[in-house]
Amino acid sequence: MSDTTTHTDASPQAMPVPFANVALCLDDRDNVAIAKCELQAGNLLVDPPQPHARLTVRQSIPPGHKVALREIERGQPVLRYGQVLGLATQAIQPGEHVHIHNVSVHGVDREHAFAVDVEPVALVPESERRTFLGYRRENGQVGTRNYLAVISTVNCSAHVTRAIAYHFTPERLAAFPNVDGVIALTHPYGCPIHYPVLERTLVGMARHPNVGAYVLVGLGCETNQAGHLVEAYGLHCCEDLFPDGPPALVIQELGGIRKTVQAGIQAVERLLPAVNAVERTVQPISDLMLALQCGGSDSWSGVTANPVVGRMADALVRQGGTVVLAETPEIYGAEHLLTRRAVDANIGHKLLALVQEWEAYARRVGLELDDNRSVGNEAGGLTTIFEKSLGAVVKAGSTPLTGVYQYAEQVTAQGFAFMNSPGYDPVSVTGQVAGGCNLVVFTTGRGSVFGFKPAPSLKVSTTSALYERMCDDMDLDAGRVLDGADVDGVAAELLDLVLATASGQPSKSEAQGVGEAEFCPWNVEGTL
């Protein structure tokens, strides 16, 4: 084994520094630690966790990146969170920078067990559960917002859809204080598309608890017919105003763009008083369903923001609420932790089957799931998709996995559920919200400026530096955990913020009008 104290010069870089001041080891089993600040070649770190009394840094290591704590032979596992993030592709000496140049996921074997780590949830008595101010719908669902949606069935009607919605400026809506806005939900897809998924997504948005009423807009010759959606899914909207079904406008039947826009404006004007008549009332926290997302992840995502969200998710589940994790390619390499938490083997195998389908898909198109890492992920210190996933699943807390759903499928399980989706944030969140999520909690390390309508999105920063730099976009600073703030305390703050936002307080993205362009249904099979 190489000497960990090769650098013995008396330069300032070789002055002893307590390891705990500049690096963080997350698990006693780990053979790497995370740099809290930039480490310079020659830095002498004293009292590292293992196995020597001091450790000399061999290369410059950026903040959030990994430093080897001991020798790692070629082919040996590299461990973070006590889990395998990859195998060493060459011998790594203590004090070396550990990253994409010397670690790979190739050759890693994962063992899956099912329903072996299931701890019953200790539910809070109903009399002690918290509440929020929400919109109770006739079907029993509860919204955190009250939008009127204009929904395009095909890209060919997108312009008309937007023209109808954009007519209703804040000035024109001033007489309807309970209406959060008129939004246009458009998409770029035409004919043919794997339209059952598109259908499920559009119907999910029409029926969403944050949507008080809606108007459908089609061209007329598309595969995804507005009339079919109404009939096949039994859609109805303000039946006293439209007893034959919701307004379904067809451009070719109405005589073109101008006439359809006018008809759409008239339909919305008829619907607005009915939407405005619904007011916020006290609702149980159990009616919240949160979409859990991360974007622009960095090495601190799994240390600060995601653990904070995970603790908050556990608290919500204990009070009867539901949280939905998604992004199947971004649980790859950590799915074995979730199959162990499945309430039964069937649910665990259902989750594993989704991961295997994504592996097969990647092989068919000549890609690897490890390619999911972005330039920003790597710059932030994430070396492999396994490392990214191990940090990402922490958002889901520790409660049992109660259900696994296809994209945009209605989530009916209570507690912690998983939805199949790509890792691309807008597509993934669109599916979660179409499945019933009425609020989004989104962690970011690099600074994603994500928002979503009709479900408000709260962004949680992984570092205080990011929060301060992008204070107009970040809703909560989880980076305080690195400075010693209690994770449970910050999680409690986040739950307070969730309830305040659910009750009508604007998120940072809402305050800037972000969220309509992010509606992006999954194009599963492409276009011919």
Do the beta carbons of residue 402 and residue 347 sit within 8 Å?
Answer: yes
284 cis-preceded (ω within 30 degrees of 0): no
pLDDT, residue 527, reads 61
Do the beta carbons of residue 217 and residue 164 sit within 8 Å?
Answer: yes
Do the beta carbons of residue 342 and residue 401 sit within 8 Å?
Answer: yes
* Cα torsion angle, 54, 59, 60, 64, sign: negative
CA–CA separation, 325 and 348 (whole Å): 14
Burial of 437 from C-beta contacts in 10 A (0-12 / 13-18 / 19+): buried
pLDDT, residue 245, reads 85
12 cis-preceded (ω within 30 degrees of 0): no
Q: Which candidate, 440, 460, 461, 443, places its Cα nearest to that of 451?
A: 440
Strand partners, 367: none
Distance, C-alpha 450 to centroid of its chain: 10
Do the beta carbons of residue 494 and residue 441 sit within 8 Å?
Answer: yes
Instruction: Output the six-digit token pair for 31.
Output: 């053979």
pLDDT, residue 355, reads 96
pLDDT, residue 6, reads 37
- The pLDDT tens digits for 482-491 are 999 999 999 9
Phi, psi (degrees; rounded to nearest 5) at 250: -120, 115
Q: What is the CATH number of domain 147-277?
A: 3.40.1400
CA–CA separation, 345 and 229 (whole Å): 35
CA–CA separation, 147 and 180 (whole Å): 5
The 3-class secondary structure across 196-218, one letter per residue, is: HHHHHHHHHHHCCCCEEEEEEEE
pLDDT, residue 528, reads 61
Residue 511: partners with Cβ closer than 8 Å, 6 or more residues away: none
Give span(s): CATH 3.40.1400, the chain.
147-277
Q: What is the pTM of this model?
A: 0.94
Q: What is the CATH number of domain 12-104?
A: 2.30.130.110
Q: Which candidate, 338, 215, 331, places its Cα nearest to that of 274?
A: 215
* Alpha helices, DSSP H, located in 380-507: 385-392, 425-434, 464-469, 487-502
State the amino acid at position 240 in one-letter form: D
CA–CA separation, 461 and 508 (whole Å): 13
pLDDT, residue 3, reads 41
pLDDT, residue 15, reads 80
Contacts 24+ apart (CB under 8 A), 227-233: 229/153, 229/199, 229/202, 229/203, 232/199, 233/199, 233/203
CA–CA separation, 373 and 18 (whole Å): 32
Give span(s): CATH 2.30.130.110, the chain.
12-104
| CA neighbours closer than 13 Å in the CB half-sphere of residue 494 | 38
- The pLDDT tens digits for 87-114 are 999 999 999 999 999 999 999 988 999 9
| CA neighbours closer than 13 Å in the CB half-sphere of residue 109 | 3
Instruction: Output the six-digit token pair for 39.
Output: 């480490």
CA–CA separation, 100 and 95 (whole Å): 16
Strand partners, 441: 292, 458
pLDDT, residue 342, reads 98
Q: At what angle do helices 158-166 and 257-276 cross, to 10 degrees?
A: 50
Regions of the chain where pLDDT drops below 50: 1-12
Q: Which candidate, 389, 398, 170, 154, places its Cα nearest to that of 252?
A: 154
Q: Which candidate, 272, 97, 61, 98, places its Cα nearest to that of 180?
A: 272
